[in-house]
Structure 1
Amino acid sequence: MKDYVLIRLTRNKRWFDFVNFKNLECQAALLFAIVLLVVINLLHVHETFSSFLIAFQNITLGIAQALIGMLGFVLAGIAIITSTLKKDVVKKIEQVNGKGTIEQILSSFEFLAINISISIVLFYVVYLMLYSPSKLIGTGFFNCMVFLISYLFIFTIFYSAALVSNCAKLFLINNTYEEIVTNEKKLIEVANEVRIDFMLNALFQENQISKEEFLMRLD
């Protein structure tokens, strides 16, 4: 079976990141979405929607364009990380932390990329809807729509910030494990040299020849 993006996200339980309120991004998204909803109701935006129409059009278009730039940042981040991680370092990280550790980290970028893509489409749809001559939706549905869109947008912003921090940590972790792998290789080389010296000494003693004689015979 092909390993699609959605399968990887499900396997790494990324969909729960939307509602994991132990994380700062969910807490911030919930708080700001509620605050925005309260402000909109205090300003009676639904009742006087025509007064805010141009502002909403500019905001939705600006956010959609900004998210396109953010998507480029995510793709660049994935490219940098995958080019930095070496095969032997990845193997060592997964030996210590368990199989699938690197996939779990990279799935965060995939999850963010999908969120940004959905948000871009959503904000462009809202932008087009703002030009529609149709009657404005009811207050309840309007408030739900404002809350969900705000939550998704703010969650995406803070999730991106969290990933920047994780990238810095991953860089440090990569350097640490690269040093471990390098030291292990040096240790193996030293062990091999000791083993060869031991075998040669045993050979010299058995054949009663010196190292100089052995080297002369090799020549």
Structure 2
Amino acid sequence: MVERIKKYGRYKDYYSFSCIEVKIAAAITFVLIFLMFEFFSFYESFKVIESDIKQIIVVVIGGEFTLLGMSLAGMAIITSLISPEILSVINKIDREDTINRVLSHFEFSAFNFGVQISYFILIYFALISKREVIEKIPFIICSTIICYHFFFNLFYIISLIGDCIKINEIKTQSKQIASYEKTFYNIVNELRIDYLLALSLKEKGIKREQLLKDLYVMIDKSNLDDKPNIKEYLCNYYGNG
């Protein structure tokens, strides 16, 4: 997992201001921290609201377990919906390795939720241990990091919806290409079979009428569905010319 995060540079997502989730998370964090410490005296009144903070942490942990499940489910859904055939076509037309990049987004999201759940649990145990609150400056720094990480995770997983749409577009294009390739190869195979059949009929002196009769017998003995339409198709195909 760490290797893939390094490979696709996912750690840069934390501070890449080209990403909308970073801009939103940074803006909300700035406003929230400013209000908390300048207007609401969050540090000075921390002991008073400590029990409320613990309840909020418990709720957030529960919610993040749900989001963690969504990240893992997203990876499973994407990998299950793309068949090896479609994946082969995607690899031919997609030079940006989009599928693996999107999967690395989900993996990075799951990693972040796992990390945040872990340190929220540690914070919760620290709160119930009745330890003294750390100094104000470190407290503000820690609060800022936690708030930013929380909102980053929240909007990061929302942004994955756009990645899923991108994958769906690539998948649709790949299906069209695969369908075209099938049609092309089917035509080539039909020509090849017709040529070999014509040679065989010529060598053995078998007429088309006899060929059709033999094919009809085979069809009647088979378990094929819609036998009349199959016979009609063969009659039109081999009966002309």
TM-score of Structure 1 vs Structure 2, range by shorter chain: 0.7 to 0.9
Amino acid at match of 1:74: S
TM normalised by structure 2 equals 0.79
**Residue of structure 2 in register with 1:25 after alignment:** 21
Preserved contact between residue 5 and residue 11 of structure 2 (Cα < 8 Å): yes
- Calculate the aligned-residue CA RMSD, in Å: 2.4
Distance in 1 of aligned mates of 2:197 and 2:51? 86
| TM value normalised by structure 1 | 0.87
Cα-to-partner distance string for 1:23-67 (whole Å, 9 max, x where unaligned): 111001111111111011121111221122122111111111110
Does the 8 Å CA contact 2:98/2:167 hold for their aligned counterparts?
no
3-state SS of the aligned residue for 2:154?
Answer: helix
- Distance change (3 Å), C-alpha of 1:115 and 1:186: same
Query: Are 2:52 and 1:55 equivalent residues in the alignment?
Result: yes
- The answer as to 2:165 corresponding to 1:168 is yes
The one of 102, 106, 123 equivalent to 2:103 is 106
Matching residue within 82, 86, 97 for 1:85: 82
Instruction: Determine the C-alpha separation between the residues in 1 that align with 2:93 and 2:81.
Output: 19
Q: Of 70, 91, 97, which aligns to 2:67?
A: 70
Per the alignment, in what secondary structure is the counterpart of residue 49 of structure 2?
A: helix
Deviations 1:122-172 (A, max 9, x none): 111111122232221111101110110011110000011011232233234
Query: Does the CA contact (< 8 Å) of 1:204 and 1:211 recur in 2?
Result: no
| Residue of structure 2 equivalent to 1:118 | 115
Work out the percentage of aligned pairs sharing the same amino acid. Answer: 29
**Residue matched to 2:234:** none
- Equivalent in 141, 153, 156 of residue 156 of structure 1: 153
**What amino acid does structure 2 have at the position aligned with 1:115?**
N
* Distance apart, 1:207 and its partner CA: 6.1
Which of the residues 11, 15, 38 maps onto 1:15? Answer: 11
Distance in structure 2 (CA, Å) of the matches to 1:160 and 1:7? 21
8 Å CA contact 1:94, 1:101 repeated in 2: no
CA distance in 2, matches of 1:36, 1:147: 9
CA distance in 2, matches of 1:99, 1:171: 15
Cα deviation for residue 200 of structure 1 reads: 5.2
Letter in 2 for 1:195: R
CA contact (8 A) 1:94 1:102 kept: no
Secondary structure of 1:21's partner?
Answer: coil
Q: Which runs of 5+ in 1 are unaligned?
A: none
Question: How many aligned residue pairs are there?
Answer: 213
Structure 1 residue aligned with 2:129: 132
Instruction: Answer whether contact 2:75 2:106 (CA < 8 A) is retained.
Output: yes
Q: Higher relative contact order by CA 8 Å / sep ≥ 6: 1 or 2?
A: 1
Other-structure match for 1:38: 34
Gaps of 5+ in 2: 216-241
Structure 1 or 2, whichever has the larger Rg, is 2
